[in-house]
Structures are given as C-alpha cells and as structure tokens.
Amino acid sequence: MSVSEITLGHPPAEARGAEFRRGAAASTPVLLGIVPYALVLGAQAAQKGLSVVEVPLMTGLNFAGGSEFAAIQLWTSPPHVLLIAAITLLVNSRHFLMGAALAPFLRHLPKRKAFPALFLMCDESWALGLADAKRRAAGGLRPAFSLAYYAGTALPFYFAWVIFTTCGAALGPVLGNVERYGFAMAFPAVFLVLLRGMWKGFAAARPWLVSLAVAAATYLVVPGAWYVAAGALSGLVSAWLLAGEK
Amino acid sequence: MIEPWTVLAILAMAVVTYLTRIGGYVVLRNRTLSPRATAVMEAAPGCVLISVIAPDFVSKNPADLAALAITLLAATRLSMLPTVVIGVASAGVLRWVMG
C-alpha cells in the first residue's frame, strides 16, 4: 500500500453521501433481480414451518441467500442444527476467497469499520465494491476502496432481502399446499439459475457432475439427508484431484 | 411463533456465515492459497447446490422429470423469475396431464 493512502483522511460527509448514492445506483438493477428470490425463499420457509418472525431473523442475521435456500430445503421440525451449520459452511466457503480478495483494499480501514463492512459482504456487494476499488486504483484515486460506495451497494440489498423474504413468508400460506401445484419445482429452478451464474465452462463444472451423480446414488440407497454431504464431499475431492492435472 | 431449535439453527447459520465472511480477511490477507485449494474453494458452492437438488434428478415421477428438463433448459437462458415461473407451471401442468 502506498503512503498517499494513509495520509489522505476520510472524505467529508457530503462526499460520503454522494458515494453512497453512487453505490446505490450501481446496485439497483441487481436489487430488482433478487426480489423474486426473496419471495420464493420466504414462501418456502413458511411451507417448512418457519414463522414471519423466524424468517427475517434468519435472513437478517445470516444474509446469505444460497445457504438459506439450501438450509430451508433440508429443514425439518425440529431442524438438524449441525447439518444446517455444515451445509451453511460449505455453501458460504466462497466467502473466504472473497474476503481474501478484498482484504488488500481494506487495510486503510480501522477494524471497527472493516468488521461491520464484512458482515454485509454478499456476492453482489463484493463484486461491485471490488470492481469499483480496482477502477479507482487504476485511476489513481486513494483510498481505492470507497466504504461509502460499498455501503451504498450493500445496505439497500440487505433491507430488500430481509423485507421481501418476510413478505414471502407472510404470503406463502395464502397459496396453501404449494407442493400440489408444482411449486416444489421452484427450488431446482432457483438452484439451477444460481449454478448458471457460477458457470465457468464445462471443465470447471466437472466436480459438480461428480457431486450430482454421487448425491443422486446416495439418495437412492441411503435414507436421510446424507446424500448432500456425500455429494458435496465427492465433488470437492474431485476438484482437488482435477486441479492436480495441470 | 418462535421455536427454540429453529432459533438455535438460525444462530448457528449466522455465526458460521459471519466467520466465513471475516475469515478470508483475518486469515488469508497476508498469504495466497495454493492453486489446488483455490480450485476446491471455487467448486464448493456449486457442488453443494447440485447435491441438494440431486433427488429431483432421480425422481420416480415422469412428469417431474420432464418438468425438470424444461426447467434446466430455461435456467440456461433465462433469468430468475421466468425460470421459476416456467419450472412451476410446467410441473403443475405435466402432473395434471400425466397424472
């Protein structure tokens, strides 16, 4: 990190407001895109027996959609806490990489600001914040990472996620038994779109196919939710083995 | 309204997720992951998601399998909302048609 990054103080409040609005504007298109995800998640959570208080508790404290979809899919009454925690860890393990990529840009921030900022790190705020920091760094702006811009991308997202998952939970029971009308297909639909978003070519997706095959076979042979662990672990092992080819 | 086990599971999720968020910053900021470890971390979310929905791929209901094929096709070209609508509608219609 350069010296200029340390010597320049914090921007005045007006500039921070403008930065926040710049971030909010950048995140608006993505924001509209998550509303259906949030409604579907809320409705499915209600179907699994979560209340309109428990749903915002989950989405507000956890704030990581992929893990919430996975957890709700595996939710039983009462839930298997360790299974839910382990799946959450697996789905969110990408955060380690994301945080590591962002870390060099956060060095100018005191920990009391960095830790709350990281709480709001989701795929979207991370991608927008990192891209902006790289652009600003290339343009010679210091500090490259604009905390107000990042907050502008993340906070509207956070509130939209909590509010619309709660709406989904409140509206879900109105539909009655959603299974009957084919609503169960909403889950694979959501997951397949999420996977499409992660798609980086067939070679990178080979571990997914291993996971799919092992999980499906395990599901047919072994009772219970073991198929998730078996599928996920076999995929990770194959990713490790395939990476050794190069 | 609030079940203790549900709250415990939610708190466990929240703690685990927050640890993943700060973990990279705290642990990895001064070192780089090996290419193999990076490959595993990058594959992980997809492996988990596909494993969770794997039972749908071996459903014994032909109507659901056909609907899944339609949904898979939709997911490759459409965004979230239309894919969900097409998935749910095709499952509903095919179940009704195919019994």
Write the pLDDT tens digit of every residue in B61-99: 999 999 999 999 999 999 877 888 899 899 989 989 987
Interface test with chain A among B2, B19, B26, B47, by most A beta carbons within 10 Å? B47
- pLDDT band of residue A1 (cuts 50, 70, 90) is very low
**What tokens does A78 get?**
């009462």
Rounded to the nearest integer, the mean pLDDT of chain A is 86
Contact at CB, B80 and A207, closer than 8 angstroms: no
A170 touches chain B (CB under 8 A): no
Residues 6+ apart with CB under 8 A from A206: A238, A242
Write the pLDDT tens digit of every residue in A153-170: 999 999 999 999 999 999
DSSP letter, residue A184: G
Q: Compare B77 and B41 and report the one with higher pLDDT.
A: B77
Q: Which residue has the tokens 């930065």?
A: A19
Q: Rounded to whole angstroms, how far apart are CA atoms A158 and A117?
A: 12
Dihedral over alpha carbons A20, A119, A65, B40 (to 10 degrees): 120
Q: Rounded to whole angstroms, how far apart are CA atoms A192 and B69?
A: 11
Distance (Å) from the alpha carbon of A157 to chain B's nearest alpha carbon: 17
Q: Rounded to whole angstroms, how far apart are CA atoms B10 and A13?
A: 36
Q: Compare B24 and A149 and report the one with higher pLDDT.
A: A149
- Crossing angle of helices A147-171 and A54-61, rounded to 10°: 160
Residues belonging to chain A: 246
Write the pLDDT tens digit of every residue in A86-142: 989 988 887 887 888 788 889 889 989 999 999 999 878 888 898 899 889 889 988
- Radius of gyration for the alpha carbons in chain B, expressed in angstroms and rounded: 20
Q: Measured between CB atoms, which of A92, A212, A242 is closest to B57?
A: A212
Asked if residue B22 lies in contact with residue A71, where contact means CB atoms within 8 angstroms, the answer is: no
Considering only the C-alpha atoms of chain B, give the largest distance between any 2 of them, rounded to a whole number of Å.
Answer: 59
Q: Measured between CB atoms, which of B35, B44, B56 is closest to A236?
A: B44
3-state helix, strand, coil in chain B (%, to 5): 85, 0, 15
Q: Rounded to whole angstroms, how far apart are CA atoms A157 and A24?
A: 9
Asked if residue A156 lies in contact with residue A22, where contact means CB atoms within 8 angstroms, the answer is: no
A44 touches chain B (CB under 8 A): no
A25 touches chain B (CB under 8 A): no
Distance (Å) from the alpha carbon of B37 to chain A's nearest alpha carbon: 7
Asked if residue A60 lies in contact with residue A160, where contact means CB atoms within 8 angstroms, the answer is: no
Contact at CB, B83 and A189, closer than 8 angstroms: yes
Q: Rounded to whole angstroms, how far apart are CA atoms A231 and B54?
A: 9
Write the pLDDT tens digit of every residue in B78-87: 987 788 889 9
Q: Rounded to whole angstroms, how far apart are CA atoms B49 and A92?
A: 11
Contact at CB, B87 and A188, closer than 8 angstroms: yes
Write the pLDDT tens digit of every residue in A44-68: 999 899 999 999 999 999 999 989 9
Q: Rounded to whole angstroms, how far apart are CA atoms A158 and A160?
A: 6
Q: Which helix (H) or strand (E) holds A47?
A: helix A13-47
CB under 8 A, 24+ apart: contacts of A225-230 = A225/A74, A225/A80, A225/A83, A227/B51, A227/B54, A227/B55, A228/A70, A228/A74, A228/A83, A228/A87, A228/B48, A228/B51, A228/B52, A229/A86, A229/B51, A230/B51
Domain layout of chain A by residue ranges: 3-179, 201-246
Q: Rounded to whole angstroms, how far apart are CA atoms A34 and A205?
A: 24
pLDDT at A176 over 60: no
In this prediction, residue A235 carries a pLDDT of 93
**What tokens does B51 get?**
């494993």
Q: Rounded to whole angstroms, how far apart are CA atoms A64 and B14?
A: 9
**Which among A25, A19, A87, A77 has a CA at the least distance from the CA of A51?**
A77
